[in-house]
Structure 1
Amino acid sequence: MRVTGLIRVLAVIGTLVATWLFLRSYHNFNRRNIRLPRWLGMATQEIRAPKTKCGLSKPCPDNFFAFKICSGAANVVGPSMCFENEIIMSPVKNNVGRGLNIALVNGTTGQVLRKDSFDMYSGDANLLVRFLAEIPEGTLVLVASYDDPGTKMNGQIRKVFADLGSSYAEQLGFRDSWVFLGAKDLKGKSPFEQYLKNNPNTNKYEGWPELLELEGCVPRKVF
């Protein structure tokens, strides 16, 4: 009788020990399973998408230049231009002004040749005429409006911009928003242009349309 009771006690103890070992192993297994997704989540957070030039939504192919042009916002925030990840004109650089802001870039090397702003409200349009007449062959022309790009724009200036590939230079007027990338002696119209008419019924800002943002990849030697 005593032997039978001892066997029962040992059997119970053995069952408890086996149960404890099983639960311990199961708990450790679950902990490992829980930790794995956390580790994967941390690794995923550390992976970052590669940065693109000028913050474009996708990188440009080889033999293409990346660019982004933003017009001014009313008469408060000046325009900006980025070319191949270099900010070439912006309010921070303090090299933008009321009217038309223009940068000339070598269409083969991507080198910035010249940049300037022209007051098209009270300034002398002849300065812009001379500037445009001196654009070298094979040059990309980046343009961003600020406040008022059209009041002083005459027929000669409009024709030059049309020859550079603009579709909207002929109708550009008082306080319109305009961003454009063209090229010297471009054959046809440029695909890189945005235009918004100053309209009291649709203006985002009081007296001005909203700012425009133009980005893309322009091939070398597009002219």
Structure 2
Amino acid sequence: MMYVRRVGPYVVHTRQPTYRLLRLCLMVFILVISIVLSVKLLKHTPELTWDNLMDFPNGGLDNRVKSFFGETPSVRASGSVGQCGLPQPCPEKHFAFKIASGAANVVGPKICFNGEILMGGMTKAWGPGINMAIVNGLTGELISTDSFDMWSGDDKPLIENLLSIENGSLVLIASCDDPATKLNNEARTLIGQLGSSQISHLAFRDSWVFVGGKGINNLKPLEKYIKNDKSVNKYGDWPEMLEMKGCIPHRQD
């Protein structure tokens, strides 16, 4: 705001001093509010990433997709609540795990074990077909991860990988898109020996998640399977995403 004051033959334009003071106060107020909100946001979301944002309302394709990809990756193998997204810590000498199959051919699978993302998410490799992670059943140490394309790939790398699994190993598998077209009888037999009861039924674009092992007597294999059926599929040509989570006992020597 301006007002005019006449001094002799001259006209002097003077800015009203209260305007500048009010504007300065407003800017300081906005800055303080911004700092307070930022501190609160960082306090409640210590690692603000796309994975975290997927957990916010209306942030994803499906509630289960959002909840799985919304895990807080800063929680590791400390036994704290929230490890791999579990609501309770696992008992002593147990590993936490969470597995999700792919959702259609858009969202990839994800394997979390002992508080670490082994496959999937925004940083860990995955692929169409069978996604498999192998870990030491006693220490939880990662041995290998790999994906095997069962539509346009070759079944030989999968068979070689299955034959190389050592006694005392845990095996975690998540399907994506099509896990079965190139899956021959030899591969099915080897997966069945790890504890799968559904591998003989697995077909084109079925959804499947599995936790088994080799030479682990105290392990009860875990598995979920849903058949591809266009009449009831959630994603048109693909069935719904499957999710499985829980606690796996350490191998007993």
TM class by shorter chain equals 0.7 to 0.9
* 2:106 paired residue number: 76
Instruction: Give me the whole-angstrom Cα distance separating, in 2, the residues matched to 1:106 and 1:188.
Output: 14
**Deviation (angstroms), 1:189:** 8.6
CA gap of 1:110–1:94, structure 2 versus 1, over 3 A, is closer
* 1:148 paired residue number: 178
Local SS of the residue matching 2:189: helix
User: Which of 191, 205, 208 is the equivalent residue of 1:178?
Assistant: 208
* 2:196 paired residue number: 166
4+ residue segments displaced more than 3 Å: 185-191
Instruction: Give me the whole-angstrom Cα distance separating, in 2, the residues matched to 1:222 and 1:165.
Output: 17
User: Structure 1 length normalisation: TM-score?
Assistant: 0.75
Matched letter for residue 142 of structure 2 = V
Instruction: Give me the whole-angstrom Cα distance separating, in 1, the residues matched to 2:125 and 2:92.
Output: 30
Matched letter for residue 68 of structure 1 = K
Give runs of aligned pairs for residues 50-199 of structure 1, distance below 5 A.
Answer: 51-186=81-216, 190-199=220-229
Q: Which protein has the bigger helix share?
A: 1
Local SS of the residue matching 2:145: strand
Local SS of the residue matching 2:95: strand
Local SS of the residue matching 1:169: coil
Instruction: Give me the whole-angstrom Cα distance separating, in 2, the residues matched to 1:188 and 1:106.
Output: 14
Local SS of the residue matching 1:143: strand
* 2:75 paired residue number: none
Structure 2 contact 188–199 (Cα < 8 Å) conserved = yes
Local SS of the residue matching 2:186: helix
Instruction: Give me the whole-angstrom Cα distance separating, in 1, the residues matched to 2:191 and 2:183.
Output: 11
**Cα deviation 1:69-122 (Å, max 9, x = unaligned):** 010000000000111110111141240000000000000000010000000001
Tell me which structure has the larger Cα radius of gyration.
1
Query: Tell me, which stretches of 5 or more residues in structure 2 are unaligned?
Result: 1-43, 45-79
Instruction: Give me the whole-angstrom Cα distance separating, in 2, the residues matched to 1:159 and 1:190.
Output: 18
Q: Which has the higher contact order (CA 8 A, sep 6+)?
A: 1
Instruction: Give me the whole-angstrom Cα distance separating, in 2, the residues matched to 1:129 and 1:157.
Output: 6
Matched letter for residue 168 of structure 2 = G
Structure 1 contact 183–222 (Cα < 8 Å) conserved = no
Instruction: Give me the whole-angstrom Cα distance separating, in 1, the residues matched to 2:164 and 2:138.
Output: 18
* 1:212 paired residue number: 242
Structure 2 contact 219–251 (Cα < 8 Å) conserved = no
**Deviation (angstroms), 1:170:** 0.5
Local SS of the residue matching 1:171: coil
Instruction: Give me the whole-angstrom Cα distance separating, in 2, the residues matched to 1:163 and 1:144.
Output: 17
**Cα deviation 1:123-166 (Å, max 9, x = unaligned):** 00011000100011100000000000010100001111110000
User: Structure 2 length normalisation: TM-score?
Assistant: 0.66
Local SS of the residue matching 1:130: helix
Query: Tell me, which stretches of 5 or more residues in structure 1 are unaligned?
Result: 1-45
CA gap of 1:132–1:175, structure 2 versus 1, over 3 A, is same
Aligned length: 175
Structure 1 contact 149–174 (Cα < 8 Å) conserved = yes
CA gap of 1:168–1:189, structure 2 versus 1, over 3 A, is farther
